[in-house]
Structure 1
């Protein structure tokens, strides 16, 4: 049973969005130093070697990883190969505030994905909440100006982030329908490594395509090395562990509200480290998105 929001549970559920906001800031900070697909590949390659000592036995012969390899290949494609790569691509032309606010509309895509592909029921309250959240996302995409909404003048990064949220929604629903073997699902590091192992292959293929089809290059520096260590250790490994433990304690419905701290943290960090100050429409969009999630998640 849910023991309630103890201080330690709150800490876990706040730390994960803080690290994810930092991921958006760092992705924006180094977007001219390393191509987005390559950044995603290097991030998860480092995370793979961090997780390997913790969960290496999943690669032994007879492990459930091999008997369920198709499932983990799909999860690795959506959660590791696509979502993070699309987010870094979004940060090439959009700001961390915009990217995280668009991502905050994730519960709407979760609802639509579940209804369209997994037979999930949708209530009137959820539809109302979805409408509020979509209004918030549209406000961000329109940069707070009606003329932009009418002209549909979106920067590529906003569109990439919409596709990223759709990919993550599919990933999340597949997780709920996934009957992973006990030797893999039984430990957080094993379950994450099973996905990362395939995700590194996907992200490596995307990075290879990036270098083949474009004039990609890496501007190595201590800043870039520090950024790679951060995005691999913090948002990937530590945030995943904190979020998983926090959801187990508080439940997914309560945890969902904490995930919407990400754009708030991103706005504060953008002002502090990038000089990108939030605008009034960012605050209104945040209220609409959170309000929509509150309405849709309340019991009838």
Structure 2
């Protein structure tokens, strides 16, 4: 285990696999665990696992966290509350395969929002890459038929996941304004905020009569999303950033949609269509174009 902890790419490969499995499990359990319930209990149990590790850092960092509460509120609301609830809601009516391919637009969206929100300098190559990637996402959302986009006859689940991805990209950009605290303090505090954001939607979901089905599959789904894509994946991701830096880590995580597509076909029997291939090809091409040095 010690040898694995010092090797970034095996850790990040496992992280990508866990995060890809998040969409697969949520899609498979859509009739057992409603989306707000899955989101709430995912983070409630993840926080319970995290607190023994994070508590000493939280006590030390509490004054800094309080001083930066507006930033923490936005980060928790976007990265924990909104993204996960919207992702699980979208997976009620669209496929895990579509979800993973739409999520593959995150690097391009982060680049675009970095320019808009943080005034990051962008060059023509980066702008072109963003546009190519977004065309790829629209290809997936529109299922290869421009008429679907023009007539606004989109699959509701695809549109919801596209919104979730946009909010995650905004969260990733704003993460640069995080307070100077330990990563475990930051994660624990954002989870706490996220749970507060999710709670009203969970209560409304219960009031509407949508309850968790008491079945082994429900418990397994909640256990998976709490332990693997939440607790372990975040620890591994943070360690990857520590070992090789954030830029290299973010670039490597582009393998996640490919893993997710494979898992969706393997475990859910979802079909790979030509528009999926075309859309993914455009997204990867856009990321490649945007990531090339401007001096080439």
TM-score of the superposed pair, with normalisation by structure 1: 0.90
How many Å separate the matches in 2 of 1:52 and 1:128?
43
Say whether residues 1:284 and 2:272 are aligned partners: no
Match of 1:236 in 2: 230
Distance of aligned partners of 1:114 and 1:15 in 2 relative to their CA distance in 1, 3 Å threshold: same
**Pair 1:27 & 2:19 matched:** no
The offset of 1:118, in angstroms, is: 2.0
* CA displacement, residues 43-94 of structure 1 (integer Å, 9 cap, x when unaligned): 0000110111111235549543333333222211011000011100110111
Residue in structure 1 matched with residue 247 of structure 2 by the alignment: 253
Matches within 5 A, 1:103-182: 103-178=103-178, 180-181=179-180
Q: How does 1:73-88 map to 2 (within 5 A)?
A: 73-88=73-88
Instruction: Answer whether contact 1:58 1:65 (CA < 8 A) is retained.
Output: no
SS in 2 for 1:260: helix
The answer to whether the 8 Å contact 1:24/1:96 transfers is: yes
Selected match of 1:189 from 184, 193, 211: 184
CA separation of 1:278/1:45 partners in 2, compared to 1, >3 Å: closer, same or farther?
same
Determine the C-alpha separation between the residues in 1 that align with 2:93 and 2:211.
18
Q: How does 1:216-235 map to 2 (within 5 A)?
A: 216-235=210-229
Match of 2:203 among 201, 208, 216: 208
Give per-residue Cα distances to partners, 1:9-28, cap 9 Å, x unaligned. 21122111111110000000
Partner of 1:3: none
Structure 1 residue runs of 5 or longer lacking an equivalent are 1-5
The equivalent residue for 1:12 is 11
Residues 12 and 237 in structure 2, CA contact (< 8 A), matched pair in contact too: yes
CA–CA separation in structure 1 for the residues paired with 2:171 and 2:232: 20
In 1, distance between residues paired with 2:173 and 2:127?
Answer: 19
Q: Distance in 1 between matches of 2:285 and 2:241?
A: 21
Task: Give 1:201 shift.
Answer: 1.2
How many angstroms does 1:257 deviate by?
3.0
Kindly indicate whether residue 90 of structure 2 is the aligned counterpart of residue 90 of structure 1: yes
Match of 2:211, SS state, is: coil
Question: Shift of residue 156 of structure 1?
Answer: 0.9
Please tell me whether the aligned partners of residues 40 and 85 of structure 1 are also in contact (alpha carbons under 8 angstroms): yes
Query: Does residue 1:266 correspond to 2:266, yes or no?
Result: no
Runs of 4 or more above 3 Å deviation: 57-63
Please say if residues 57 and 184 of structure 2, whose CA atoms lie closer than 8 Å, have aligned partners that are also in contact.
Answer: no
- Do the aligned residues in 2 keep the contact of 1:104 with 1:289 (CA within 8 Å)? yes
Query: What SS class does the counterpart of residue 7 from structure 2 fall into?
Result: helix
Cα distance in 1, alignment partners of residues 201 and 73 from structure 2: 15
Cα RMSD between the aligned structures?
Answer: 2.0
Normalised by the size of structure 2, how large is the TM-score?
0.91
CA distance in 2, matches of 1:7, 1:191: 22
Paired with 2:133 and 2:100, the residues of 1 have a C-alpha distance of 13
